[in-house]
Amino acid sequence: MKITKTFVSVFFITFLIGYVSVLPTYRVSAPEEITNVITNQIPSPPITTKMELEIIEDVGNWFEDGKYQHKIKLLETGEGFHGDEVDAVNGETWLGLFKENDKYFLRSTQINIRRVHDEIVDDDNKRKKTGKDVSVKGKNKPIFLLKNANNLRVSEITTLFQGVTWKEFLEDKQTDLSTEEVMTVLNKGFNQKYEIGGKNYDLKVIEAKNKDNEKILALTLESGGKRQILHTMNVEYNSSLGILHWAGDLDRDSKPDFFLELYVHDNVDNKVLFLSSQAQKDKLVKKVADFLTTGC
């Protein structure tokens, strides 16, 4: 009996010592666990960082480029051009890009230049005719006309895209769409992708700043790790860079070429042709011709 009582006493005392030693630890750890649970239920505020606009040097100033400095001449058919805008002679043979059914062809065509009264320059003198109308033989009108383009050949032309012109938009009386929806306006966020010659090309408009810290829009062309700035416009002057009229392989080198209308002022725009075959080593295309027109 003495042995049993001693054993029980020892066991009971050991149990009390163990319970007392564990009890403080439990009382401390419980509030920490509860605190952690509450903390995890409160989400941390999101960290927002305002993206700084990229600084890009302004390009595409026609005053610096000079008017008709290019060897290749570019022209469109139309009525009421100012006389000095049309550098062509009646009866000349030019190359025209024509759409026939669903195909496109570069072929020779004879142009007609007709003198007309310019309501802006000639004032009320109806006998004075300094303006010019440009047309070609036949009902099919070319997308554009070229002269001195000796590196181009008469042939079928691969076309990646063709947009709607101002005249076609105005003549379409049945459409309820806006100008931006019908025409390929080069607004902020514009982005077209092309695949040709086994390579991908990305033509897009981005928002940036020039060196004077002014907000601008920039038309860029990217491919194979290269990026080229084709045109810029201060957003205070215009909220759009222009209109994309046509994209395709005009010079047959399996790379894209572009025919665009690029704005340079509220009352001035410039039709421009970019060819890939004339590009420098670190560039994708080169401006080879322009057709500058003014409203008044």
Helix (H, G, I), strand (E, B) or coil at 85: helix
**What's the pLDDT score for residue 33?**
42
Taking all residues of the chain, what is their mean pLDDT, rounded to a whole number?
82
Distance CA 258, CA 219 (A): 12
Asked whether 188 and 244 are in contact (CB, 8 A), the reply is no
In this structure, are 260 and 200 located in the same domain? yes
In this structure, are 185 and 263 located in the same domain? yes
- Structure tokens of 259? 């025919």
* Confidence band of 180 (pLDDT split at 50, 70, 90): low
Lowest mean pLDDT, pick from 102-116, 177-191, 261-275: 177-191
In a domain, 214, yes or no: yes
In this structure, are 228 and 168 located in the same domain? yes
In this structure, are 245 and 181 located in the same domain? yes
**What's the pLDDT score for residue 42?**
46
In this structure, what DSSP letter does residue 119 have?
A: T
In a domain, 210, yes or no: yes
In a domain, 200, yes or no: yes
> Which is more confident, 97 or 171?
97
Distance CA 179, CA 167 (A): 11
Q: Which domain holds residue 117?
A: 71-156
Asked whether 249 and 158 are in contact (CB, 8 A), the reply is yes
Residue where a domain terminates, one of 124, 156, 188: 156
Distance CA 145, CA 75 (A): 5
- Per-residue pLDDT tens digits for 43-71: 555 554 556 889 998 886 554 444 557 99
Residue where a domain terminates, one of 131, 156, 181: 156
Distance CA 118, CA 136 (A): 21
> Which is more confident, 33 or 79?
79
Residue 268 dihedral angles phi and psi, to the nearest 5°? -130, 130
Let me know how many helices (H) and strands (E) the chain has, helices first.
Answer: 4, 16
- Per-residue pLDDT tens digits for 141-160: 999 999 999 999 999 999 99
- Per-residue pLDDT tens digits for 221-280: 999 999 999 999 998 888 899 999 999 999 999 999 999 999 887 778 799 999 999 999
Check: pTM over 0.85? Answer yes or no: no
Beta bridge partners of 135: 112
Residues near 114 by beta carbon (within 8 Å), at least 6 away in sequence = 90, 132, 133, 135
